[in-house]
């Protein structure tokens, strides 16, 4: 290890290879199941690499290695314990689980929906269009919209209600849209 600290790659490679059975034995002693011993061995090898500057050549190597191996085995057991509590093996649930990341065609779908909505809003009577644009799209309050448009709050509310009903009809494919004219 002292040679490895100085950058001696062949010595380091030989050392890591010799460490593998020691780590595996330590992991098994800690109660790691045989199918998970390999994972722990790899984690310990990576930890040895990252912690190699902390080895003191004046002290024996094995206690340093065992301390790392035991700690990583305990970490592995804890992680496995947590996973066992939190996760169940259920292939059907896994298959049926909706993807929560953004799919490539999600953006296209969103664009198409937005375009359709904009086109539908454009066909509304001016008062209803105004109510939708100000109250729903821009998020203005009734007071703000009333002050800026000069319409009463009641008129804006009725227009919005009619506009939403009309849009629902248009976008839902029904032709009996339009409950009435602007107020």
Partner 1 sequence: MSEVSRPDSPSHDRLIERLTAELRPVRRVSPGWLAVSWLLVVVLFAGYLASMSDMHAMMRRLMAAPDMWLAALGSALTGVLAVVAAFMTSVPGRSTRWGLLPLPPLALWIWESGMGCARGWHLPGVHDASFGDSDHCFMFICGISLPLSLLLMVLLRWTFPLRPNLTLALGGLAAAGTAATLLNFFHPYDASVSDLVIHAVAVALVIGANRLFGERLFR
Q: Which is nearer to partner 1, 18 or 144 (CB)?
A: 18
143: Cβ–Cβ under 8 A, 6 or more apart, which residues?
153
Residues 134 to 163: which contact partner 1 by CB under 8 A? Answer: none
**What tokens were used for 64?**
């340093």
Q: Which is nearer to partner 1, 30 or 136 (CB)?
A: 30
DSSP letter string, 54-100 = G--TTS-HHHHHHHHHHHHHHHHHHHHHHHHHH----HHHHHHPPP-
Q: Which is nearer to partner 1, 41 or 145 (CB)?
A: 41
DSSP class of residue 124 equals: S
Q: Judge residue 140's burial from the number of C-beta atoms within 10 Å of its C-beta, 0-12 exposed, 13-18 middle, 19 or more buried.
A: middle
From the list 38, 90, 106, 181, which residue makes contact with partner 1 (rule: CB under 8 A)?
38
Cβ 81 to partner 1 shortest distance, Å: 18
Site string for partner 1, 5-24 (x = CB under 8 A): xxx-x--xx--xxx-xx-xx
Task: Assess 81 for contact with partner 1 (CB under 8 A).
Answer: no
Cβ 45 to partner 1 shortest distance, Å: 6
**What tokens were used for 69?**
């191996």
Cβ 120 to partner 1 shortest distance, Å: 50
- Measured CA to CA in angstroms, residue 77 lies from 36, 42, 50, 73, 133 at distances of 10, 15, 21, 6, 57
Cβ 80 to partner 1 shortest distance, Å: 16
Pair 44, 67: CB distance under 8 Å: no
Task: Assess 44 for contact with partner 1 (CB under 8 A).
Answer: no
Q: Which residues bind partner 1 (CB under 8 A)?
A: 4-7, 9, 12-13, 16-18, 20-21, 23-24, 27-28, 34-35, 37-38, 41-42, 45-47, 49-57, 59, 63-68, 71
């Amino acid at each position: 290890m002292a040679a490895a600290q100085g950058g001696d790659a062949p010595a380091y490679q030989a050392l890591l290879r010799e460490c593998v059975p020691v780590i595996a034995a330590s992991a098994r002693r800690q109660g790691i199941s045989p199918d998970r011993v390999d994972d722990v061995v790899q984690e310990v090898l990576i930890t040895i690499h990252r912690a190699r500057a902390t080895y003191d050549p004046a002290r024996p190597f094995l206690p340093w290695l065992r301390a790392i191996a035991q700690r990583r085995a305990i970490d592995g057991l804890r992680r496995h314990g947590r996973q066992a509590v939190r996760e169940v093996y259920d292939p059907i649930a896994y298959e049926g689980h909706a993807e929560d990341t953004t799919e490539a065609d999600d953006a296209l779908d969103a664009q198409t929906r937005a375009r359709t909505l904009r086109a539908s809003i454009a066909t509304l009577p001016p008062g209803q269009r105004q109510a939708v644009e100000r109250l729903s799209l821009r998020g203005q309050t009734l007071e703000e919209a009333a002050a800026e448009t000069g319409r009463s709050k009641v008129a804006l509310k009725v227009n919005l209600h009619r506009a939403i009903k009309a849009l629902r009809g248009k976008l839902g494919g029904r032709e009996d849209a339009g409950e009435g004219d602007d107020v």
